[in-house]
């Protein structure tokens, strides 16, 4: 009886030491052994991901964001898709004529597709006007639109009911 207690204590001490190091080997009733590690640190959300989460949680009571942010440009419009089973939508992004690159991105939930435009300014060298330019951008969806509402992340307004 004493040897059995000592064996369990050593096993527990070894498991605790492995757990402290971030890796634990688990086994039970002679089954296969599993190795479990610590989870990687969560990825830090950017401005768009935080805004999209806020919209999904607060929908439909959403206010527009204040000011212009390169990661959250308002959309000028969205083209109505031919059917609800499409996996891409075309939006018109309003961006600065000084942006060297621009595009759109989306965040999908069960009932919403939150979309934003983004732009990256050219270097500060040379002249540039602050005129508004608009361009159509195709946004690929992870799953079919299927009746979800399309919402502009910058304004919080519904652009389309899919």
User: Could you read off the pLDDT of 39-80 as tens digits, one per residue?
Assistant: 666 778 899 999 999 999 999 999 998 877 778 989 999 999
CA separation for the pair 13, 143 (Å, rounded) = 48
In a domain, 61, yes or no: yes
Q: What is the pTM of this model?
A: 0.70
Give which of 115, 108, 114, 107 is closest to 136, Cα–Cα.
Answer: 115
| C-beta of residue 114 within 8 angstroms of C-beta of residue 55 | yes
* Model pLDDT for residues 105-151, shown as the tens digit of each residue: 999 999 999 999 998 887 666 677 778 889 999 999 999 999 999 99
Which residue range forms the structural domain that includes residue 75?
A: 47-161
135 and 74 fall within a common domain: yes
- Nearest CA-CA partner of 151 in 84, 41, 59, 81: 59
Distance, in Å, from the CA atom of 108 to the CA atom of 111, rounded to the nearest integer, reads 8
Are both 29 and 59 inside the same structural domain?
Answer: no
Classify residue 79: in a domain, yes or no: yes
SS3 14: helix
């Amino acid at each position: 009886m004493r040897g059995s207690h000592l064996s369990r204590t050593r096993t527990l001490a070894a498991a605790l030491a492995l757990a402290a190091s971030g890796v634990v080997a688990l086994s039970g009733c002679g089954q296969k052994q599993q190795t479990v590690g610590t989870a990687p640190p969560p990825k830090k959300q950017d401005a768009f991901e935080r805004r999209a989460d806020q919209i999904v949680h607060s929908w439909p009571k959403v206010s527009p964001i204040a000011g212009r942010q390169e990661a959250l440009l308002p959309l000028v419009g969205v083209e109505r898709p031919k059917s609800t089973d499409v996996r891409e939508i075309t939006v018109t992004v309003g961006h600065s004529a000084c942006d060297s690159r621009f595009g759109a991105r989306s965040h999908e939930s069960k009932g919403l597709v939150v979309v934003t435009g983004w732009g990256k300014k050219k270097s500060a060298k040379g002249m540039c006007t602050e005129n508004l330019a608009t361009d159509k951008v195709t946004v690929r969806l992870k799953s079919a639109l299927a009746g979800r509402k399309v919402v502009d992340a910058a304004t919080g307004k519904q652009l389309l009911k899919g």
